[in-house]
Amino acid sequence: MSQVIQDKVIDEKLEWSRINADVIASMQSPRRAYWVALAVCIAMLFCAVAAEIYQYKYGMGSAGLNNPHMWDMYIATFVFWIGMSHAGTLLSAILHIIHAQWRKPIYRFAEAMTTFSLMTAGIFPMIHLGRVWNLYWVLPYVSDRGIWPNFRSPLVWDAFAISTYLSSSALFLFIGMIPDMAILRDHTTGWRKKFYGILCLGWRGDDRQWRNFRRTYMLLACFLIPLAISVHSIVSSDFAMSIMPGWHITTFPPYFVAGALYSGCAAIMTLFVALRYFFRMEEYMTLNIMEKTCKLTFAIAMVWTYLNLIEFAATWYGHNIYDKELLIDKATGPYAAVFWTMIFCGMVVPFTLCFQKLRRHMPSMLVVSILLNLGMYVERWMIVAPTLAMSHQPHQWDVLWGTVIQWAIVFGSFGWFGLLFLIFVKLFPCVSMYEVKELCFHLKHEIEEEEHEKQHAAKAKAGATAGGGASPAGNPGLEGA
């Protein structure tokens, strides 16, 4: 069987009107599981809001924080969500630039994931502030008292980096959707028609518009890649710029970026399985695409593992007594169970992605991807908590597992993210229609070309053997079916 046909990520014979109809139908009548998920998310969010109101009223002590543990799960969760946001950029911008066609049916929801996980991440530095009502002091607004934020502080860099990344990725998401908005405008009725009519910004699909669109899209993609990398490097400098053992590590920026891509890819796998089921997208989110995502995830997982091992080795052989002691404590001390969970989920579980049987089995991929994300979550926690628990000053050593309030807010953040995401996929097409059409179009041509060549070769062969029985060339059209 030819390579093109075997690797083909979508059935190239999908008609364009079918694509439109399928995607629009998905936005109108999802399976019941969608509504269940929506209800669960709202309930989770409700827990978090209640907890946050309590914490706002009575103070940060209600989260159980204490003297050595000034930061805890809030910051770990913040890093986790920031990390999630990197996969969208990877799929839509990096793979766009290197012309990986298979990204096309799935990049839209990955990009939405970027925007929403950033919106979730951005909440955490806010709610963890002692006096959140003075939040705007972090921004460099001109005040007549001549007071500026402290530009040396990584937290100020965070504020800049995250707001830049959030606005650019939201813009990127929106621009990529314009042609689809126009399709929706033409195919829907009622309020939806008005809504998409405004959002498509007068798209008519003429030549000039397409050319400008492509240029803008490429430009934004190029802008977004360095931005994504810098954002997580800056988040890592929250830790790397301090002098605490286990934080003051020079490999942190690449390590964080790799971790971010890793957890992001795992999240894409989870959402892939979920959306495929909720919206009956089996024809668009095909198993071949899943396979490719899995392979990508595996490669990134190995990079992350490597960087992690380097970090351990550097700590072990560098003779910094505080760092070394902390590393030993992580592996054997009170946090040992969490530490080994991280090692297992982050470094061992990805090897399941090596098996094709598993890669094509959706339920097990759901479990694996959730395990991977669990590993990445506790990884972030293992960066934040043990350093605080066992830093320089032994008198202040303490282990913290958080209180109900803290857990509720962390838990609720998943609800908040899920809610935003589920609303998004109901309002906007989670599969990019025009790019899927493009993909089908290219694929058709490629296959035709291949068939052509084959027939050509067969003919030449037949000519050479000069009527030697039946033609050895099968019918490639049958194999593709």
CB of 164 vs another protein, minimal distance in Å: 17
* Nearer CB in complex with another protein: 365/400: 400
CB of 203 vs another protein, minimal distance in Å: 42
* Nearer CB in complex with another protein: 17/150: 150
Helix (H, G, I), strand (E, B) or coil at 99: coil
Burial environment of residue 333 by CB neighbours within 10 A (0 to 12, 13 to 18, 19 or more) = middle
Question: Rounded CA gap, 308 and 463, in Å?
Answer: 60
CB of 21 vs another protein, minimal distance in Å: 51
The neighbour count for residue 359, using CB atoms within 10 Å, is 23
Question: Rounded CA gap, 163 and 22, in Å?
Answer: 35
CB of 59 vs another protein, minimal distance in Å: 4
CB of 70 vs another protein, minimal distance in Å: 4
CA angle 42, 74, 119 (to 5 degrees): 55
* Nearer CB in complex with another protein: 62/352: 62
* Nearer CB in complex with another protein: 147/354: 147
* Nearer CB in complex with another protein: 52/238: 238
CB of 121 vs another protein, minimal distance in Å: 16
Residue 420's contacts (CB-CB under 8 Å, 6 or more residues apart) are 116, 119, 120
Question: Rounded CA gap, 423 and 432, in Å?
Answer: 17
Task: Please report which residue ranges of 333-403 form alpha helices under DSSP H.
Answer: 336-343, 356-359, 362-389
* Nearer CB in complex with another protein: 187/248: 248
CB of 65 vs another protein, minimal distance in Å: 6
CA angle 387, 337, 85 (to 5 degrees): 65
CB of 411 vs another protein, minimal distance in Å: 21
CB of 155 vs another protein, minimal distance in Å: 4
CB of 74 vs another protein, minimal distance in Å: 10
* Nearer CB in complex with another protein: 243/460: 243
Long-range CB pairs of 30-34 (<8 Å, 24+ gap) are 30/278, 30/279, 30/426, 31/277, 31/278, 31/279, 31/280, 33/277, 33/278, 34/278, 34/279, 34/422, 34/426
- Beta-carbon-side half-sphere exposure of residue 123 (alpha carbons within 13 Å): 18
DSSP class of residue 445?
A: H
Binding-site ranges for another protein (CB under 8 A): 58-62, 64-71, 125, 128-132, 134-135, 137-138, 142-143, 145-150, 152-156, 159, 238, 241-244, 388, 391-396, 398
CB of 422 vs another protein, minimal distance in Å: 32
Backbone angles phi, psi at 109, to 5 degrees: -75, -25
Backbone angles phi, psi at 100, to 5 degrees: -90, 110
Burial environment of residue 118 by CB neighbours within 10 A (0 to 12, 13 to 18, 19 or more) = buried
What are the Cα distances from residue 153, in Å, to 24, 159, 194, 384?
A: 47, 10, 46, 18
Contact 183, 20 (CB under 8 A): yes
Backbone angles phi, psi at 435, to 5 degrees: -80, -30
* Nearer CB in complex with another protein: 143/189: 143
* Nearer CB in complex with another protein: 392/461: 392
* Nearer CB in complex with another protein: 152/357: 152
CB of 332 vs another protein, minimal distance in Å: 22
Contact 376, 259 (CB under 8 A): yes
Buried b (16+ CB within 10 A) or exposed e, 296-314: bbbebbebbbebbeebeee
* Nearer CB in complex with another protein: 163/455: 163
Give the residue from 398, 376, 366, 374 showing the smallest Cα distance to 385: 398
Residue written as tokens 């960087």?
Answer: 307
* Nearer CB in complex with another protein: 238/435: 238
CB of 395 vs another protein, minimal distance in Å: 4
* Nearer CB in complex with another protein: 188/242: 242
